[in-house]
Structure 1
């Protein structure tokens, strides 16, 4: 029987305590004002939960993939916008962890671990979403530098993050095999940002375009090999889809927890509404599906930590399943509260809006099903 280690249970207790004291109290206001959750960032950074995955060699806590997933799950249980702090820090730094030089890691991971900077990931473009290989951002060699020109869209925490891993075309004749990855600093000349997107949910996490106008980047900020960027981007997503699955589990659990408390107190026809079988079935389905999603997410996290050959299957399956569960559970939590669930006086309507994005970013669930199907056709399940 699977059981969390004592260390992992302690991490859950610690991050839950931080979230209950410093994150959850600000969640509604962060959503209402569409402001970056600075108080949550400061609290998470002070507790080594803003980027727990950064190895100890670079000043980080060195949390494994499962511990990082637990951190993100617990933060999302309180505030999904805030959970994008550790989640996007991992997404942005993962290219360096997989393929970066030691110099790059020392230079850029240490400030993130210290809570002095955040890291975002720039893959998508206005005409390159699910079809990332059709990106148009160019990187041209000029002596010892690369010069980047283009626009990146849907960049989470853009403008707040100090650093960005940017994917750009270095050889347009090679298609997906002509893309490279670079580290860009927001203080580099030529970097600017669009207006924040007006979104359905995760309003406290800014989503903006990143404009690159002849941004000159030293050659030592290339991540991995020239023209090796697309494969790197896909490997990164194999790992970080696990974090989105954890985020989805967290918001689903938060919605169920609130609904459970509400239905035990709310009375109709002279009895708590929790006594009615129709509502009990809704709650039972939520509990079962959340736990199934959690176990699949933790299994995927273990494979991420080990770099197992079947990580692609598990990462996509966990992200797809958990996010579908999150959308179902949060919607049903609104239903459980009836008319009150539809108001901003209660958090479940925010959780429902926040949950929706987990079905879309880091690969839509339609794309995840394509990935899973290809893995099955390739025989991955027969090797489990």
Structure 2
């Protein structure tokens, strides 16, 4: 039920792929890829598409509230009732029937647990009811994912690899015939699904995959050869979404080039085999294996999407399901906070309960704040998806990054609060910490996703700057564009923006007005910083990863500020019992986040920071050249 992509993959939008590809260790540019085409005049004069994404618009220094304010409320009374009917038995099953410690020790999900999950409908939560599924929307799905994440991430991976990515392509990109043929069996768990992209030699740089599928001479099927590595459910899956290079002829030029195509592959086709299950640090209950394809005959009817459009299919799958990780890990964090706070409220030291000590209070408060932010973002993204918005890729990436890092921190601190007890297996947190480590790697490493966030936003800004550049060639005919964009930027540059922006004032409750000003200021700082780095670096910004990382950090914090302000404002309006508590968490988060945003923006331009980046680059190169630590032991032995 969680959202889990096979480790590392390309996550730059397809239209950027001629400029950049990601390798396992970072950004790699070939000479051909480094050459960027100059924009054609007719394209420069076209109005670039406008995005409703709150996060993307921050790169232009704009507040576009539609996808952030008010906090989404998408469930009808019937949907809410359905969800209540599902949550209670699911919680009971995980509390009374499933044993995560046993699953971890066995390194598999026991057969009886798998059968119970199938009977509960856990394998087809978002498949329409007419195709044997439960028919949940994204928000309902997120709530059930949260239950799983609170109890057993190993099972979460098994369910998520199946439906969040395994057959998700069929659900969102399949034609009616494909859906009718495959969804009923995968929805009931009769057949398990897997997502097969990563290969031994291609991680983040998925464009370099070697698996190939060649059309047969009679045109009835493709012949697939290759292998995939680290595939969740790889040893048990009967239905696989597989990505392979296929020869594609350009109708305009007549030139044939390899492009990635997505296929629905059945193990029953023959020629499909797998390795023994991998031995892993965590999520041991999930099956992870290498999968091999030898002369597998795939009917042409099993092309998923269009031939040569495999990257588009992959991106749609990932963007559609990534929100689930935030929901799952918010459940994990809630469970850890429960254990830590219960321990703190009962543990006596120096004649006092440790909950009274400031050091413990700060830990527990920060744990709660991180959970509040994680949960708020996850349901914000899910709600926007249910509202029909399609431009949420950056927000989904933010959710994944924040959730995976916050959950690791929260569980680690929960162990610290519990001391030696937390370190013991019986407490259950050591298993959770092992399980959590993969989430910063899953679905694109967090390092790669930070570059994705920064470069996606910069690309959006670049499109508008090109339009502005074209407008100045004919100022009389483009006066609206010039005054709407250029003058606004000029005012910002010379400090005529009137200080802290009031852009969020109409959308945030008055009791949070100071924090709303911080969030607005952060948006302005990002817009100014993006314009400055584009002017300084131009297309070479791709090489400035020290800068891009800090930009991404600022964007993550700024989006999170807006989301918690939105949620807290809704809680105030509804007079929820927890409203005072939510206001306090929101204030602390925003008060500290603006400091981090200012620091990161300054770190993009301060001479001392730039000098440090250069030095760190030199240090890293020396270590890699040496083959390890380059400084000698202080004893010289």
Confirm or deny: 8 A CA contact 2:195 2:240 kept in the other structure. yes
Instruction: Say if 1:373 and 1:314 are closer, same or farther in 2 by CA, change over 3 A.
Output: same
Give the deviation of 1:233 after TM superposition.
0.3
SS in 2 for 1:333: helix
Residue of structure 1 in register with 2:151 after alignment: 78
Confirm or deny: 8 A CA contact 1:181 1:223 kept in the other structure. yes
SS in 2 for 1:212: strand
1:148 and 2:224 equivalent?
yes
Query: How do 1:147-166 and structure 2 match up within 5 A?
Result: 147-166=223-242
Residue of structure 2 in register with 1:122 after alignment: 196
> Which of the residues 389, 397, 416 maps onto 1:308?
389
Residue of structure 2 in register with 1:27 after alignment: 100
Give the deviation of 1:122 after TM superposition.
0.4
Instruction: Say if 1:186 and 1:271 are closer, same or farther in 2 by CA, change over 3 A.
Output: farther
Confirm or deny: 8 A CA contact 1:44 1:50 kept in the other structure. yes
> Which of the residues 110, 113, 116 maps onto 1:43?
116
Give the deviation of 1:172 after TM superposition.
7.6
Confirm or deny: 8 A CA contact 2:273 2:293 kept in the other structure. yes
SS in 1 for 2:297: strand
Q: What is the alpha-carbon distance in structure 2 between the residues aligned to residue 332 and residue 129 of structure 1?
A: 31
1:134 and 2:208 equivalent?
yes
Q: Which runs of 5+ in 1 are unaligned?
A: none
Q: What is the alpha-carbon distance in structure 1 between the residues aligned to residue 347 and residue 74 of structure 2?
A: 35
Q: What is the alpha-carbon distance in structure 1 between the residues aligned to residue 425 and residue 268 of structure 2?
A: 38
Give the deviation of 1:97 after TM superposition.
1.6
1:87 and 2:167 equivalent?
no
Q: What is the alpha-carbon distance in structure 2 between the residues aligned to residue 172 and residue 137 of structure 1?
A: 15
1:208 and 2:289 equivalent?
yes
Instruction: Say if 1:102 and 1:309 are closer, same or farther in 2 by CA, change over 3 A.
Output: closer
Residue of structure 2 in register with 1:249 after alignment: 330
Give the deviation of 1:4 after TM superposition.
7.7
Instruction: After superposing the two structures, state which structure 1 stretch, 113-122 or 254-263, moved more.
Output: 254-263
Residue of structure 1 in register with 2:182 after alignment: 108
Residue of structure 2 in register with 1:323 after alignment: 404
Give the deviation of 1:15 after TM superposition.
2.4
Give the deviation of 1:326 after TM superposition.
0.7
Q: How far does the alpha carbon of each residue in 1:307-334 deviate from its partner, in whole angstroms, 9 at most, with x for none? A: 5242101110111111111111111111
Instruction: After superposing the two structures, state which structure 1 stretch, 334-343 or 360-369, moved more.
Output: 334-343
Instruction: After superposing the two structures, state which structure 1 stretch, 254-263 or 96-105, moved more.
Output: 254-263
Instruction: Say if 1:173 and 1:151 are closer, same or farther in 2 by CA, change over 3 A.
Output: farther
Confirm or deny: 8 A CA contact 1:137 1:168 kept in the other structure. yes
TM-score (norm 2): 0.57
Residue of structure 2 in register with 1:16 after alignment: 91
Q: What is the alpha-carbon distance in structure 1 between the residues aligned to residue 118 and residue 401 of structure 2?
A: 29
Residue of structure 1 in register with 2:128 after alignment: 55
Give the deviation of 1:137 after TM superposition.
0.6
1:344 and 2:386 equivalent?
no
Confirm or deny: 8 A CA contact 1:303 1:310 kept in the other structure. no
Instruction: After superposing the two structures, state which structure 1 stretch, 29-38 or 312-321, moved more.
Output: 29-38
Give the deviation of 1:253 after TM superposition.
1.8
Confirm or deny: 8 A CA contact 2:123 2:188 kept in the other structure. no
Confirm or deny: 8 A CA contact 2:248 2:307 kept in the other structure. no
Instruction: Say if 1:39 and 1:247 are closer, same or farther in 2 by CA, change over 3 A.
Output: farther
Confirm or deny: 8 A CA contact 2:132 2:188 kept in the other structure. yes
1:68 and 2:141 equivalent?
yes
Residue of structure 1 in register with 2:50 after alignment: none
SS in 1 for 2:214: strand
> Which of the residues 268, 284, 287 maps onto 2:368?
287
> Which of the residues 439, 442, 458 maps onto 1:358?
439
Instruction: After superposing the two structures, state which structure 1 stretch, 314-323 or 172-181, moved more.
Output: 172-181
Calculate the aligned-residue CA RMSD, in Å.
Answer: 2.4
Give the deviation of 1:254 after TM superposition.
1.9
Confirm or deny: 8 A CA contact 1:41 1:50 kept in the other structure. no
Residue of structure 2 in register with 1:258 after alignment: 339
Q: What is the alpha-carbon distance in structure 2 between the residues aligned to residue 295 and residue 85 of structure 1?
A: 25
Confirm or deny: 8 A CA contact 2:153 2:283 kept in the other structure. yes
Instruction: Say if 1:10 and 1:176 are closer, same or farther in 2 by CA, change over 3 A.
Output: farther
Instruction: Say if 1:133 and 1:213 are closer, same or farther in 2 by CA, change over 3 A.
Output: same
Q: What is the alpha-carbon distance in structure 1 between the residues aligned to residue 182 and residue 305 of structure 2?
A: 15
Give the deviation of 1:267 after TM superposition.
2.3
Give the deviation of 1:9 after TM superposition.
4.7
Give the deviation of 1:246 after TM superposition.
2.0
Q: How far does the alpha carbon of each residue in 1:123-161 deviate from its partner, in whole angstroms, 9 at most, with x for none? A: 111111111111111001113111111110111111122
SS in 1 for 2:122: coil
Q: What is the alpha-carbon distance in structure 1 between the residues aligned to residue 257 and residue 413 of structure 2?
A: 41
Q: How far does the alpha carbon of each residue in 1:224-250 deviate from its partner, in whole angstroms, 9 at most, with x for none? A: 111111111011111121122222222
Confirm or deny: 8 A CA contact 1:359 1:365 kept in the other structure. yes
Give the deviation of 1:374 after TM superposition.
2.4
